[in-house]
Amino acid sequence: MVRDRLERIGVVGAGTMGSGIAQVAATHGYEVVLRDVDPEFVERGFDAIDDSLTRLESRDALPDDSGTIRDRIEGSTDLEAIADCDLVVEAVVEDLDVKREVFADLEATCDREALLATNTSTLSITSIAGNLERPGRVVGIHFMNPVPIMDGVEVVVGEKTSDDAVALAHEFSGDLEKETWEADDRPGFVANRILMPWINEGIRAYDEGVASKEDVDRGMELGTNVPMGPLRLADHIGLDVCLHATETLHEELGDRYRPAYLLKRKVEAGDLGKKSGRGFYEYES
Ligand SMILES: NC(=O)c1ccc[n+]([C@@H]2O[C@H](COP(=O)([O-])OP(=O)(O)OC[C@H]3O[C@@H](n4cnc5c(N)ncnc54)[C@H](O)[C@@H]3O)[C@@H](O)[C@H]2O)c1
């Protein structure tokens, strides 16, 4: 069983994602503890929050004044500070060993019924929770970057994640005015399993002289109606983050670039998409 009511939220890791998650939770009225290993990192997290709140306030996009929201967030380097949190979201570096250590600490520190979530982009939830006594309360709540701007959250279900942990993850995300989708705990889940090869191929296309970098991006923006082409998006995400995610996917999934079997089979069957009335979906003629 996990708690059915959340009031106090812990966020572990005050970097790009942790500071964004803390900000959005505080904006929606939660009491937040933002924890990192060094006071300097906590301060850096608050600087990012202050900048973002100031920008949003100037656009009249906050429900309360920025000072009130900011006051709901307490910074700490002390693990004990999150002991009485109802939900802890882990947003530390994308390293399985580090995350497993953090979750062991959380299990030892937090209340038995607290929900424990990871913001991992690509690592296995099942593995992160693998050594715990109560893995049922561990769920993926995968926020998108930048957290205050992006509307969606991916809820990831590990092998042992309980139904009430999943339900609470959706509910919490909904409280933050995020829409959710749900993914099984397989490499990259939905978002990065599809996004990372797309970015990777954009980089290759540029590198192989298919088009200038501007035209790779413009081609995808104008040609497929995405708001940002792959090279610009990679820059926004961080090329190191992209490389790390792609390496993890490569290790887990191997060569993903051959045409999918299902694609060939559907074409052979004449299911060509909207124009034939049926592709992966059915269409009215
Ligand atoms: N950056 C993105 O675009 C993005 C998007 C979605 C998900 N994610 C995921 O979110 C997580 C965090 O990514 P980020 O980009 O915010 O990283 P980041 O490097 O900006 O921040 C990580 C923070 O974690 C802190 N940290 C490390 N070990 C810690 C520990 N034991 N206890 C407390 N704090 C610790 C570091 O000091 C650092 O401040 C990763 O799992 C990443 O894959 C990132």
pLDDT digits (tens, 9 = 90+) for 29-75: 999 999 999 999 999 999 999 999 999 999 999 999 999 999 999 99
Q: Report the separation in Å between the CA atom of 261 and the middle of ligand 1, taken as the mean of its atom positions.
A: 36
**In ligand 1, which atom is closest to the CA atom of 121?**
43
The residues, any chain, with a CB within 8 Å of residue 172's CB and separated by 6 or more, are 6, 87, 115, 141
Q: Using 50, 70 and 90 to split pLDDT, how confident is the model at 257? A: low
Q: Contact, 103 vs 129, CB < 8 A?
A: yes
In the set 31, 90, 107, 154, the catalytic residue is 154
Q: Give catalytic status of residue 162 as yes or no.
A: no
ipTM: 0.98
94 lines ligand 1 (CB under 6 A): yes
pLDDT in tens, 99-145: 999 999 999 999 999 999 999 999 999 999 999 999 999 999 999 99
* pLDDT value of position 55: 97
The residues, any chain, with a CB within 8 Å of residue 52's CB and separated by 6 or more, are 20, 23, 146, 148
Phi, psi of 139, rounded to the nearest 5 degrees: -140, 155
Phi, psi of 126, rounded to the nearest 5 degrees: -60, -40
Q: Using 50, 70 and 90 to split pLDDT, how confident is the model at 256? A: confident
Helices and strands in the chain, H and E counts: 11, 8
User: Nearest-CA neighbor of 23 among 135, 177, 207, 193?
Assistant: 177
Q: What angle do CA 20, 24, 26 make, to 5 degrees?
A: 115
Residue of the CA atom closest to atom 40 of ligand 1: 94
Q: Using 50, 70 and 90 to split pLDDT, how confident is the model at 236? A: confident
Where do the domains of the chain lie, and which CATH numbers do they carry? 8-184 (3.40.50.720), 190-275 (1.10.1040.10)
The burial class, CB within 10 Å (0-12 / 13-18 / 19+), for 63 is exposed
Q: Give catalytic status of residue 121 as yes or no.
A: yes
DSSP class per residue in 147-160: TTT--EEEEEE-TT
The pTM of the full predicted model, rounded to 2 decimals, is: 0.93
Q: Which residues sit in the known binding site for NAD(+)?
A: 13-18, 36, 94, 99, 121, 145, 275
Mutate to test the pocket of ligand 1, among 92, 97, 106, 236 (most ligand atoms within 8 A of CB): 92
User: Nearest-CA neighbor of 192 among 143, 260, 147?
Assistant: 143
128 lines ligand 1 (CB under 6 A): no
Q: Contact, 206 vs 234, CB < 8 A?
A: no
Q: Using 50, 70 and 90 to split pLDDT, how confident is the model at 260? A: confident
